[in-house]
């Protein structure tokens, strides 16, 4: 069973705030029913989100990490636009483990998002509408969210086995030689996240 119950939501929000100076409003209403969103996301849906909102995602996510971002930027620079139909899509900073228990992955948890800050602003301007990771982002990423009306979703660390239950299918799109860091499309159902940075630049990490 995937999705977000009250106890998991509270754990997730606390995980986001553990290194923030002050974010009581993020923890204030953990029992609230999460906002259910369908991927790919449209701008109208993103505009209605506020930092701290609990959200579930259903549809395609694209997993990519450090080395894959370097490859993607190279292709963007060479071709002038995002390849592989990534415009309008959501990137998930994750390196899944091999299949287990009859599921596509044994575990799939978020990577520290700041490791992708070198690429995120340019990718947002090229058409990526949202990213999923863990931890705070740079001021450049926050500004890119404002400029492009994009969103950063934060997922809780330490719950990779639980999150793997939300993945229905997976197939490799490109960069297969990178192993776990390859570009993959994964189809998720009620994947639990919360809004870390919204389209107005409001940031649960207090930036």
The CATH number linked to 93 is 3.20.130.10
Q: Which residues are the active-site residues?
A: 69
Q: Which pLDDT tens digits describe the chain residue by residue (207 residues)? A: 576 554 445 444 444 444 434 444 544 444 468 999 999 999 999 999 999 999 999 999 999 999 999 999 999 999 999 999 999 999 999 977 666 667 776 777 898 999 999 999 999 999 999 999 999 999 999 999 999 999 999 998 777 787 888 888 889 999 999 998 999 999 999 999 999 999 999 999 985
Domain that holds residue 125: 6-197
d(CA 136, CA 139): 10
80: buried, middle or exposed (CB in 10 Å: 19+, 13-18, 0-12)?
Answer: exposed
Does a structural domain hold residue 206? Answer: no
Domain count for the chain, please give it: 1
SS3 category, 56? strand
Residues 204, 108, 40, 182: is their CA dihedral positive or negative? Answer: positive
């Amino acid at each position: 069973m995937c999705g977000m119950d009250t106890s998991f939501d509270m754990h997730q929000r606390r995980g986001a705030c553990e290194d923030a100076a002050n974010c009581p409003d993020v923890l204030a209403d953990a029992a609230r029913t999460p906002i259910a969103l369908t991927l790919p996301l449209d701008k109208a849906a993103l505009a209605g989100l506020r930092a701290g909102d609990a959200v579930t995602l259903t549809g395609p996510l694209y997993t990519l990490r450090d080395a894959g971002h370097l490859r993607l930027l190279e292709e963007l620079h060479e071709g002038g636009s995002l390849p592989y139909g990534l415009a309008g899509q959501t990137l998930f900073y994750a390196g899944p483990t091999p299949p287990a228990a009859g599921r596509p992955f044994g575990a799939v948890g978020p990577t520290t998002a700041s490791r992708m800050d070198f690429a995120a602003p340019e990718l947002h301007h090229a058409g990526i509408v949202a990213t999923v990771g863990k931890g705070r982002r740079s001021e450049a990423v926050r500004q890119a969210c404002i400029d492009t009306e994009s969103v950063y979703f934060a997922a809780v660390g330490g719950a990779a086995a639980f999150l793997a239950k939300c993945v229905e299918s997976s197939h490799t799109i490109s960069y297969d030689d990178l192993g776990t860091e390859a570009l993959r499309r994964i189809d998720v159902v009620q994947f639990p996240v919360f809004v870390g940075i919204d389209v107005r630049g409001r940031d649960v990490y207090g930036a």
